[in-house]
Amino acid sequence: MKRINMIDAGIKPDGCVSERLTQLISDAGDDVELYFPSGSYYISKPVAIEHRRGLTLVGDNATIVTHFTPDGDPKENNNGFNCRDCRGLTFTGFTCTTDNPLGAEGRVVAVDNSAHTYDVKIDDKYQVTGWEHFWGTDTFDEDGTPDYVIETYDKIVTETLTGDDGKPRKKFTGTRYEVIGDHMIRVHMPERFDLSRLNIGHRVHYRYLIYGNTLFSFADCHDVTLRDIEIERCASMGAVISPRSSNFVFDNFNIRPREGSGELYAANADGIHIVGLAGSLIMKNCKFAQLGDDALNIHNQAGEISALVSGEKTAQIDIISRLNLGGESKVRELVYGFAAAGDRFRVYEKDSFIKKGGFEVVSYESGHAVIENIEGSVEVGDIIANETFFASVQIENCEVRNTRARGFLLQSENMTVKDCRFYGMSLPGLLVAPDVIVWYEVGPSANTLITGCEFEKCAIVSNDAAIMVRAAHDGRGEGYPAGVHRNLTISGNSFRACGGSAICVSSTDNVVITGNRFDSRDTDSNVRLVNCSNIVRSDACTD
């Protein structure tokens, strides 16, 4: 393997390297190691890595810095690395951060519930000009766990105003606030918010952005490894994997604030978000702390059959996907690579989520497919899932702390979560659930083992369990029949100070729950089973 030192290639640390690095990668060929000596490498636009085979990027105390604006147009922000059509790609030995903080935080100094306002003293290390855009608000307890006393995803209003220099400037407003003094702001909340639980001294964080930028983006990439990566800040998500990718390893891949920084978020959204992966996902020795959403969400996009024309041996179908938020249902675009000739799809009855058939794709283009080898029944309104993207999942010796959503949201098959630790989760530490009520994500699980894990202070803001298995992401997912999920084992785990219960399983056939330890002797509250069949259960309790 050829080795190229960045300095020898004219790419020096402590400077902007985006265009030169993209060109070097394009020219370097295959089976190459790119060595980054100690220093900071500033990326002002995404580095494109395309059509490479056997490329390794090695950092030696090297830091990757991406641009993030707290008060300008979010279009100025950028991804780190956009990877497409690569095989045998490795990133190792990098620290990653942004040039500006991801948000601002402070403490409540006054509350006026009748006026729907509260005042906050923002920490001195953050700028306060009135131009900062607050995409969302989150409150935290003293442990650093989001407590949902206030939790908003704000609708953004864009205006063109006159800037401090007298020139036109765009202003982005989500959470409404005004500057009332040195690092003092007054926040104006909608009337529907009850501020009675907001206390003087309460910790508040304002995210400058939620969705929009990814540090590592992959599409049609195979046999990829990210090892010894320390992400101290990333604008939105740490890594996004899109179809048609396969076989990813995350080893000592960490997303957490720099030690001593006191920052309440290291990522404004998910740690790792997977929208269709073939083969396998391996995660080991990873640590996630202070994330704005799930540490891991692995899923496959759900399709819905919107039209069907049957033939003698084949049929033609039109496929859509949906997003149902705030009572509004929207048809949304299918992801690139959603289907290809030769893919096998499963067909589910929408209301029960029970598999009712299957088919093979002859051809596919832009939501229109010709299908054959049809099994069972296929009807308009059915939910479909591509079998290609049910990657096996192996997660071992990982830790998630103080995350606003779930630890791991698992929507695949042949999954093992072993010797992991979950602390300070607003929602469940583990959620095993597809969803076609809101998000249109699949699929139902099979052959899942959760063992040797520790759960403490999980699901603290909901009536959920530390481990939730159901047929939708929220509380509406417990009414589905047994058989949505199959072959689940939860054994040898420990639970302390969790929410509504330690374990809640619904809609599952063949459930084994044994040897788990709880800090409560109330067995009924420790384990809840709803619409399950073929159950083997034995519990252990501790004081």
Q: Tens digit of pLDDT for each residue in 317-327?
A: 999 999 998 77
Q: How far is CA 88 from the centre of its chain?
A: 24
Closest CA to 526 of 539, 536, 515, 508: 539
User: Comparing 375-384, 418-427, 464-473, 495-504, which segment has the lowest mean pLDDT?
Assistant: 495-504
Q: Is 80 exceeded by the pLDDT of residue 215?
A: yes
Q: Is 70 exceeded by the pLDDT of residue 113?
A: yes
Q: Is 70 exceeded by the pLDDT of residue 94?
A: yes
Q: How many CB atoms lie within 10 A of CB 129?
A: 9
Is the whole-model pTM more than 0.75? yes
Laid out side by side, the sheet with 136-140 consists of 146-151, 136-140, 203-207, 103-112, 117-122, 184-188, 176-181
Closest CA to 241 of 366, 335, 339, 344: 335
d(CA 132, CA 373): 56
Q: Which residues contact 147 (CB under 8 A, 6 or more apart)?
A: 139, 140, 141, 426, 460, 461
Q: How confident is the model at residue 447 (pLDDT cuts 50, 70, 90)?
A: very high
d(CA 93, CA 540): 42
Q: Is 90 exceeded by the pLDDT of residue 202?
A: yes
Closest CA to 140 of 265, 288, 293: 265
Domain ranges of the chain: 103-207, 212-300+390-541, 302-388
Q: Is 70 exceeded by the pLDDT of residue 509?
A: yes
Res 478: pLDDT: 76
**8 Å CB contact between 515 and 540:** yes
Cα Rg, the chain, nearest whole Å: 24
Res 543: pLDDT: 44
Q: Provide the mean pLDDT of the chain.
A: 95
The pLDDT tens digits of the residues spanning 116-167 come to 999 999 999 999 999 999 999 999 999 999 999 999 999 999 999 999 899 9
Give the torsion through C-alpha atoms of 24, 91, 214, 246, to 10 deg: 110
The pLDDT tens digits of the residues spanning 62-84 come to 999 999 999 999 999 999 999 99
Res 520: pLDDT: 66
**8 Å CB contact between 181 and 167:** no
pLDDT over 70, % of the chain: 98
- DSSP secondary structure string, 178-232? EEEETTEEEEE--TT---TT--TT-EEEEES-SSS-EEEEEEEEEEEEEEEEEES
Q: Is 60 exceeded by the pLDDT of residue 522?
A: no
CATH 2.40.10 fits 302-388, yes or no: yes
**8 Å CB contact between 232 and 96:** yes
Q: How many CB atoms lie within 10 A of CB 365?
A: 8
State which CATH number among 3.40.50.150, 3.40.50.2020, 2.40.10.340, 2.160.20.10 fits the domain covering 212-300+390-541.
2.160.20.10
The pLDDT tens digits of the residues spanning 246-289 come to 999 999 999 999 999 999 999 999 999 999 999 999 999 999 99
Burial of 374 (0-12, 13-18, 19+ CB in 10 A): middle
219: left (phi over 0), alpha (psi -120 to 50) or beta: beta
The answer to whether the 103-207 and 212-300+390-541 domains have the same CATH topology is no
Q: Is 60 exceeded by the pLDDT of residue 313?
A: yes
Q: Is 90 exceeded by the pLDDT of residue 483?
A: yes
What number is the average pLDDT over the span 211-217? Answer: 95
Q: What CATH number was assigned to the domain covering residues 103-207? A: 2.40.30
The pLDDT tens digits of the residues spanning 374-426 come to 999 999 999 999 999 999 999 999 999 999 999 999 999 999 999 999 999 99
Q: Is 70 exceeded by the pLDDT of residue 36?
A: yes
What number is the average pLDDT over the span 453-459? Answer: 97
Q: How confident is the model at residue 1 (pLDDT cuts 50, 70, 90)?
A: confident
Q: How confident is the model at residue 14 (pLDDT cuts 50, 70, 90)?
A: confident
Closest CA to 427 of 454, 452, 400: 400
Q: How many CB atoms lie within 10 A of CB 35?
A: 18
